[in-house]
Amino acid sequence: MQLYTSHRAPNPRRVRWVMAEKGIADVEVVEVDIMLGEHKTAEYRTRVGVPHLPALSLDDGTTISESIAICRYLEALYPEPNLFGHDAREQAIVEMWTRRCEFYLANPIMLSVRHSHPALAALEPTQMPQLADYNRVAAEKFMKTLDRHLADHDFIALDRFTIADVVAVVGLDFARLIKYRPPEEFGNLARWLEACRARPAATAGA
């Protein structure tokens, strides 16, 4: 298998983190330079179908894109440590929180960074500072929700680390490109974030 990734982008880091948590070492990692547009070449589009990263190319010629889909596939091949839930109840709770963290935290943070960091202007037709501000405010609304939830939870979805935590941390870490930090009032969020960043696998691709 080959993983097409970029150290400049947040979503590929989700996959690298999951691989590190599971100790997966038999996947070839291929770096793609998004600033040079290597993900938009005809060769890459033919292989993946869309100009998106990450992408996982299987030995039978199948290519899987979208970070969560790739992580689910890896979970099926390497079930431990479990990151998506053991039974139907756990899986539903992990899915719920993963979608919340992606839709209401990670995606708004990424848009805020992409529309405010000067170097990322090359990735947008037109950078819109007002869009950056709007998405930062939206993300902080969900941070408040997370902070309340984390008052009596060590991790976001279950009583252990899961893909929901990966999605949330990677989103927040991407904001460090613009020197952003969550509001200091969110003490529970800060405690959780510090604990997740202290995990050995957190440095994978960071």
Where is 2: in which H helix or E strand?
strand 2-5
CATH class of domain segment(s) 88-203: mainly alpha
Q: List pLDDT tens digits, range 3-24.
A: 999 987 899 999 999 999 999 9
Q: What is the mean pLDDT of residues 70-95?
A: 98
User: Per 3-state DSSP, what percentage of the chain is helix, strand, and coil (rounded to 5)?
Assistant: 60, 5, 35
d(CA 144, CA 123): 30
Fold of 2-77: Glutaredoxin (3.40.30)
Q: How buried is residue 198: exposed, middle or buried, by Cβ count under 10 Å (0-12/13-18/19+)?
A: exposed
pLDDT (0 to 100) of residue 178: 79
Model confidence, pTM: 0.91
Q: List pLDDT tens digits, range 170-205.
A: 999 988 877 889 999 999 999 999 999 999 999 986
Checking if the pLDDT of 121 tops 60, the result is: no
Q: What percent of the chain has pLDDT over 70?
A: 93
User: Could you state, in order of their start, the residue ranges of all structural domains in the chain?
Assistant: 2-77, 88-203
